[in-house]
A and B are shown apart, each in its own frame.
With several copies, the nearest count.
Chain A
Amino acid sequence: MKVMNMVQAINDAMDLMLKEHPEVVMYGEDAGVEGGVFRVTEGLQQKYGAERVFDSPLAESGIVGTALGMAITGMRPVVELQFDGFTYPAFNQIVSHVSRFRNRTRGKFAVPMVIRFPYGGGINALEHHSERPEAYYAHTPGLKVVIPSTPYDAKGLLISAIESNDPVIFMEPKKIYRAIKQEVPEEKYSIPIGKAMVVSPGTDITVVTYGAMVREVQRAMVMAKKEGISVELIDLRTISPIDRDTIRESVAKTGRILVVTEAQRSFSAASELMAITVEENFLNLEAPPTRLGGFDTIIPLPVGENFYRVEPEQIYYNIQKLVKY
């Protein structure tokens, strides 16, 4: 096995898929010659040619809408949008078409495509470069929404996404693009979409999170452990559809749940997780399901990100409060 960071693991997944499936193509702004602004597609054009991996004009609706045309004619496009905040110009194509074409045509046309983009905050970026748009896409029927938290997961989930016959929104936590290194098999493997993972079992409280926040929760768990609190950590992996079973079983055991997200908290994935918990575990609950996320303010520029960002200590603060409840 090779030690890889998330950028390398994603690149590796795409490399394998390009090799295995001639119907896979990849494009986006700067995705070809340059290999993407985060270098995630680096080397792929050189390896597979400019017909299969290429630069597109600067137009996100165009990127997604043309990919749909390819997908319904037997190809498997994997498109890159340059940042989370630049998925919005493509919103109409995603919500009105990508998610609906199968249903609209009663299964005549499937839409096997992946829309990948760097996700979330924490890199001291300009405005619109630190968005957390998962709730928009998770609220949209017909889309699967995936956010990996490790190189290993990123590779396995992306392979599943590319081989899925449904469209997948694949968000890559940019803060940990290169921050976590891990042994990753060089061969093909896949991780199922729609299944959460119990990262570490525990008994006092369930913490559900995903993406870059998994690591932050793990840091909080070190503090909790010192105080003798046993945390069960669930990495959601797939935001939609949510794996209700894993959450239910965990909360049935712990009686307490804290949801941690990077995103603003209202009308969010955190809201949904709280709703699911009361639906599934009403009688088990020993404390109110609680969410911890960004404020419902505009995401601040770097000078204010420290206030906005959920930090390990803050996660621990909420854990201990809930356990004491």
Chain B
Amino acid sequence: MFKKYDPLKGKIVRIIDDNGKLLKGEELPEIDNEIWVKAMEKMLFARQADLMAVSFQRQGRMFTYPPNLGQEAIATAVGMVNKEEDWFVPAFRELAGWLAKGAQLHEVFLYFKGDEKGSKFVNAPHLLPSSVPIASQLLHAAGIGYSLKYNKKPGVVYGFVGDGGTSEGDFHEALNFAGVWKAPVIFIVQNNQFAISVPRQKQSAAESLAAKGIGYGIPALHVDGNDIMAMYKAVKFAREYAEAGNGPVLIEAETFRMGAHTTSDDPTRYRTAEMEEEWSKKDPVKRLRQYLVSQKLWDEAHEEKLVEEYKEKVEFEFKKAEELYKIELNEIFDYTFEELPPHLLKQKVEYENYLHWKEGRK
């Protein structure tokens, strides 16, 4: 696969076209068509959650949130390939992947409402929290890769980063360490064309981000990230390659953030309506839908019904997040160290004395 789709020769992995039609010379992955139906459901659910998150934020019920709109195929494909033993190391824009890995939606909401409980992912032992300092998480992915290898455990690590993140020193160091260690890590660059307002071309003079792999001896694939079949194929291949002990793989997934960078961003300041329209034609949900419809596996009525269900589910999860959203003073102190050291106890007691005084003044 690395030969057929050599990114240094400008090759891109793509299986279906913008209208969901199989491309000439390509083959569908050999899996049951039912699996694409499931994938469609997962993408739709993630999209629904994402859209509603933005509106919750607008209603003032949540703080900053980074929309995934348009990028859902990537993390969904990873979720399809993922096995329980694999580790998922997020950047912050892979909602569908977190859900696939076991995150509960209300935890995600809690996190973006600004509550640490939302990073615990109690049902997802192999899921790391969002990583805010760009690209820093890739080193954790490389270290987990070493850990798996050292402990002779099965599984691989998926490490996510954005196009902007490829400029950080930690991106470099992570790929280099993983390369030297032949660690089972799949680095996935979600190239959504922008880092906030900064376009991909201002980020690096490299022709493609996949090209960066060669600097670390890491084979790379440049993939149409809005083609879930291509993503599935690439990630599945990479997983087998990495798990077999061949070392890491770099995947550049070409996509587009159809929404704002976060709810505090205004994309009209830095990109044109034409560009947005151009990319909306490549919407990954639309493409898979068209494929499924052509296979008679999907229809509009079914989708409408599903979306209604999803809305309720999301609403339910959000309410749950709202109920859980609170904190006691203890929680601020209890996790800095395994045991509360004396100086922190002193600070807590002093603060409680103040609260007591304050209470008394009322």
Contacts and interface: CB of A to CB of B under 8 A. Distances in A.
Query: Do A and B touch each other in the complex, judged by CB within 8 A?
Result: yes
Given A72-B140, A317-B354, A62 B167 contact: yes
Contacts of B303: none
Q: Tell me which of B173, B202, B329, B346 has the highest count of chain A C-beta atoms within 10 A of its own C-beta.
A: B173
Interface stretch (A9-17, A105-113, A207-215): A105-113
Interface residues of A, number: 79
Contact of A295 (B134, B150, B333): B333
A278 interface: no
B169 A89 contact: yes
Contacts of A2: none
Interface stretch (A52-60, A146-154, A179-187, A253-261): A52-60
Contacts of A77: 143
B333 A297 contact: yes
Given A70-B146, A106-B120, A308-B332, A57 B358 contact: no
A105 B129 contact: yes
Contact of A86 (B133, B203, B269): B133
Given A59-B168, A302-B63, A142 B358 contact: no
B151 interface: yes
Contacts of B269: 33-35
B336 A297 contact: yes
Interface in A95-135: 96-97, 102-110, 124-129
A295 B143 CA distance: 31
Nearest to A107: B335
A29 to B, nearest CB: 7
B338 A165 contact: yes
A101 to B, nearest CB: 8
Contacts of A72: 128, 140, 144
Interface stretch (A170-178, A197-205, A238-246): A238-246
A33 B342 contact: no
A298 B336 contact: yes
B170 A61 contact: yes
Contacts of A58: 134, 164-165, 167-168, 195, 198, 203
Contact of B174 (A65, A194, A242, A301): A65
Interface string B259-296: 00000110001100000000000000000000000000
Contacts of B63: 124-126, 302
A303 B64 contact: no
Contact of A69 (B142, B197, B331): B142
Q: For chain B, what secondary structure do more than half of its interface residues adopt (helix, strand, loop), or is it mixed? A: helix
B187 to A, nearest CB: 13
Contacts of A65: 136, 138-140, 142-143, 170, 173-174
A89 B119 CA distance: 23
Contacts of A48: none
Contacts of A110: 338
A302 B114 contact: yes
A85 to B, nearest CB: 7
Contacts of A62: 139, 142, 167, 169-170, 173-174, 176-177
Contact of A242 (B204, B335, B343): B343
A296 interface: yes
Nearest to A82: B196
A237 B119 CA distance: 35
Contacts of A67: 143
B165 A245 contact: no
A64 B196 CA distance: 20
Contacts of B114: 124, 126, 301-303, 305
Contacts of B325: 303
A75 B325 CA distance: 33
Contacts of B170: 61-62, 65, 89, 92-93
Contact of B341 (A35, A92, A128, A194): A194
A88 to B, nearest CB: 7
A316 B360 CA distance: 14
A305 B87 CA distance: 31
B159 to A, nearest CB: 10
B134 A297 contact: no
B53 to A, nearest CB: 14
Contacts of A265: 347
Nearest to B66: A126
A25 B151 CA distance: 11
Interface in B102-157: 113-117, 119-122, 128-129, 132-134, 136, 138-148, 150-151
A1 B222 CA distance: 56
A37 interface: yes
A304 interface: yes
A288 interface: no
A77 B116 CA distance: 26
Given A102-B337, A302-B115, 13 more contacts: A30-B198, A37-B264, A51-B150, A85-B132, A92-B136, A102-B335, A106-B117, A106-B335, A107-B334, A126-B132, A241-B342, A304-B327, A314-B354
19 contacts: A30-B196, A55-B202, A57-B202, A58-B165, A59-B176, A61-B173, A62-B169, A68-B139, A72-B144, A97-B140, A125-B63, A126-B64, A244-B346, A297-B344, A298-B336, A300-B332, A303-B114, A304-B331, A313-B358
Query: Can you list the 8 inter-chain pairs with the closest CB atoms, starting with the nearest?
Result: A69-B143, A65-B139, A302-B114, A62-B173, A66-B143, A34-B197, A57-B167, A58-B164
Interface of B: 63-64, 87, 113-117, 119-122, 128-129, 132-134, 136, 138-148, 150-151, 164-165, 167-170, 173-174, 176-177, 180, 195-198, 202-204, 264-265, 269-270, 325-327, 329, 331-338, 341-344, 346-348, 351, 354, 357-358
